[in-house]
């Protein structure tokens, strides 16, 4: 029985036939089956083998062959791939084996079964193993009836995916009232007057500009809807972008390949490839692993067919900026992806001004004046209730009796006002605060402030703000562990 195999690793298609060198005895390894599909034919499209149509019923008079494609998630390296065909009565069986070196975690193979007028009618099957471990089974029907085919959606090239993302993508330039440029955020528009983005785009920023691909910018001042726990927000603003086709709700699963963009308003944009690897504990967000780099919060995420899956969510805690978000991003590895299906809003609802969200405590104010802080952090408390000197921590155990936040000051100018400390949980709720204390810090004179609090009862990541009057002048994050 003639057979051929095409194996795929990171988009590189390798044609393998009998007579390849043996790779020796291989240890058994587990593999996860991503997909098994069958069709009457297939071809190499942009470096990836795809079926021209997918179905499980074949005519022995009209179809030339049955092609079965396996996709796996496993371990890169040498593997022994074996497929076994079985006829309906198990009278006809055939094995096909090949040695293959997978250069990536995701790899696959297809096997083909020629059809003839003398073949047994009924339910056939094919079983695959990888290094002797079962790696999937598929059944299909062979009949004399006419069989209709349904076309398979074409996968887009990287160039086509980049172009589709680029035409739907806008940068959100963010800055504080002191004129400090903040980390970039992104967005896209599913309809006129709406800009979908991540909730973190609203935090810390006093001004938000929508920067289109032609470089023009417009201010955004109102919000249509938001959900902090689900990591999304919808801004009100008109942008000139393409509308993205939306993937079916059940089309995105663990193993789905995806792409997004990384960039900033000042620099270019870079395509970033990823894979859906799980979901959060609440089941409201997907989790993606990016192969290289990361995408911008709020950026659209597409599947291999160029269809919208969702947007890049917030990795770090509320109010955190830049690379430090990954330090406190949580115990689950990967990047949260907000499914487009969870974003529900009333487009006729009244718009809310950004400044009103700030006054309600929905969003977090930016830090102003941290250049006056020489160092700051959290310390342990000794048996006498005093701060242990020369220690600085961003992680403490709930078994500690107390903790002591502190700030070492070296002001660039004289600072006077009411100094206070506040601690917030992951939902931006105030959980601890000090009484305001009047301070007068002289220019370029070192001084120290500290507070003493009983240890918190709940584990998690908390945001700490030191305020001079009502303005945050330093911000830190403390993780409480069991």
Give CA separation, 297 vs 172, 196, 231, 252, 336, in Å.
10, 11, 9, 20, 9
Give the chain as a 3 state SS string. CCCCEEEEECCEEEEECCCCCCCCCCCCCCCEEEEEEEECCEEEECCEEEECECCCEEECCCCCEEEEEEEEECCCEEEEEEEEEECCCCCCEEEEEEEEEECCCEEEEEEEEECCCCCCCEEEEEEEEECCEEEEEEEEEEECCCCCCCECCCCCCHHHHHHHHHHHEEEEEEECCCCCECCCEEEECCCCCEEEEEHHHCCCCCEEEEECCCCCEEEECEEEEEECCCCEEEEECCCCCCCCCECCCCCCCCCCEEEEEEECCCCCEEEEEEEEEEECCCCCCEEEEECCCCCCCCCEEEECCCCEEEEECCCCCCCCCHHHHHCCCCCCCCEEEEEHHHCCCCCCCCCEEHHHHHHHCCCCCCCCCHHHEEEEEEEEECCCCCECCCCCECEEECCCCEEEEEEEECCCCCEEEEEEEEEECCCCCEEEECCCEEEEECCCCCEEEECCEECCCCCEEEEEEEEECCEEEEEEEEEEEC
377-430 pLDDT, tens per residue? 998 888 777 777 667 888 999 998 999 999 999 999 999 999 999 999 988 889
Question: Tokens representing 208?
Answer: 């938000």
Residues in a beta bridge with 317: none
Beta carbons within 8 Å of 266's beta carbon, 6+ residues apart? none
Per-residue pLDDT at 43: 83
Q: What is the pLDDT of residues 453-470, one digit of tens each?
A: 999 999 988 999 999 998
- Provide CB contacts within 8 A for 383, sequence distance 6+: none
Give the per-residue pLDDT at 347.
78
Please tell me the predicted confidence (pLDDT) of residue 265.
58
User: For the CA atoms of 139, 144, 148, 152, what is the dihedral angle to 10 degrees?
Assistant: 40
Euclidean distance between CA atoms 387 and 238, whole angstroms: 53
How much is the pLDDT for 29?
58
Q: Which domains does the chain have, with CATH numbers?
A: 5-143 (2.60.40.1930), 158-360 (2.40.10.120), 370-481 (2.70.50.60)
Name which of 212, 185, 218 is nearest 294 in CA terms.
185
CB atoms closer than 10 angstroms to residue 272: 24
Count other Cβ atoms within 10 Å, centred on residue 220. Answer: 24
Maximum Cα–Cα distance for the chain, whole Å? 97
pLDDT at residue 130, rounded to an integer? 93
CB burial string 336-351: b at 16+ within 10 A, e below: bbbbbeebeeeeeeee
Length of the chain measured in residues: 482
Between the two ends of the chain, the Cα-to-Cα distance in Å is: 61
Q: Tokens 């100094």 — which residue?
A: 419
| Residues with pLDDT less than 70, the chain | 1-29, 45-47, 92, 264-267, 281-283, 316, 319-332, 389-390
pLDDT the model gives residue 154: 76
Contact 309, 286 (CB under 8 A): yes
CB 270 within 8 A of CB 293: yes
């Amino acid at each position: 029985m003639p057979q051929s195999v095409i194996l795929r690793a990171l988009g590189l298609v390798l044609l393998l036939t009998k007579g390849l060198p043996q790779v020796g005895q291989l240890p058994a390894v587990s593999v996860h089956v991503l997909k098994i599909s069958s069709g009457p034919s297939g071809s190499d499209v942009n470096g990836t083998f795809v079926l021209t149509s997918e179905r499980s019923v074949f005519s022995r008079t009209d179809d030339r062959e049955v092609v079965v494609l396996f996709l796996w998630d496993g371990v890169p390296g040498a593997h022994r791939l074996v497929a076994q065909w079985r006829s309906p009565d198990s009278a006809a069986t055939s094995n096909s084996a090949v040695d293959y070196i997978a250069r990536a975690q995701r790899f696959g193979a297809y096997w083909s079964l020629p059809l003839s007028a003398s073949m047994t009618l009924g339910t056939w099957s094919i079983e695959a193993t990888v290094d002797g471990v079962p790696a999937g089974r598929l059944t299909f029907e062979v009949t004399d009836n006419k069989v209709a085919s349904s076309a398979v959606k074409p996968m887009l090239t990287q160039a086509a995916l980049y172009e589709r993302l680029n035409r739907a993508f806008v940068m959100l330039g963010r800055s504080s009232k002191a004129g400090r440029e903040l980390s970039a955020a992104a967005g896209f528009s599913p309809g006129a007057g709406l800009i979908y983005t991540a909730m973190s785009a609203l935090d810390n920023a006093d001004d938000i500009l929508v920067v289109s691909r032609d470089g023009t910018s417009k201010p955004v001042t109102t919000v249509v809807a938001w959900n902090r726990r689900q990591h999304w927000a919808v801004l009100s603003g008109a942008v000139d972008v393409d509308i993205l086709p939306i993937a079916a709700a059940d089309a995105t699963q663990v193993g789905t390949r995806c792409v997004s963009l990384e960039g900033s308003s000042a620099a270019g944009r870079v395509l970033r490839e990823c894979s859906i690897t799980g979901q959060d504990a609440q089941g409201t967000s997907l989790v993606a692993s990016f192969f290289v780099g990361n995408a911008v919060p709020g950026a659209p995420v597409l599947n291999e067919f160029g269809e919208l899956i969702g947007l890049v969510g917030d990795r770090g805690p509320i109010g955190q900026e830049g690379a430090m978000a990954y330090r406190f991003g949580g115990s689950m590895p990967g990047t949260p992806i907000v499914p487009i299906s969870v974003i529900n809003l009333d487009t006729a609802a009244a718009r809310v001004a950004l400044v009103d969200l700030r006054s309600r405590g929905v969003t977090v104010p930016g830090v102003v004046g941290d250049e006056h802080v020489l160092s700051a952090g959290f310390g342990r408390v000794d048996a006498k209730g005093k701060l242990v000197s020369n220690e600085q921590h961003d992680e403490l155990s709930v078994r500690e009796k107390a903790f002591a936040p502190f700030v070492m000051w070296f002001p660039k100018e004289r600072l006077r006002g009411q100094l206070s400390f506040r601690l917030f949980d992951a939902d931006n709720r105030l959980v601890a605060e000090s009484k305001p204390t009047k301070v007068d810090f002289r220019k370029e004179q070192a001084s120290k402030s500290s507070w003493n609090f009983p240890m918190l009862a709940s584990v998690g990541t908390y945001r700490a703000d030191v305020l001079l009057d009502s303005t945050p002048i330093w911000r830190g994050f403390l993780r409480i562990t069991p």
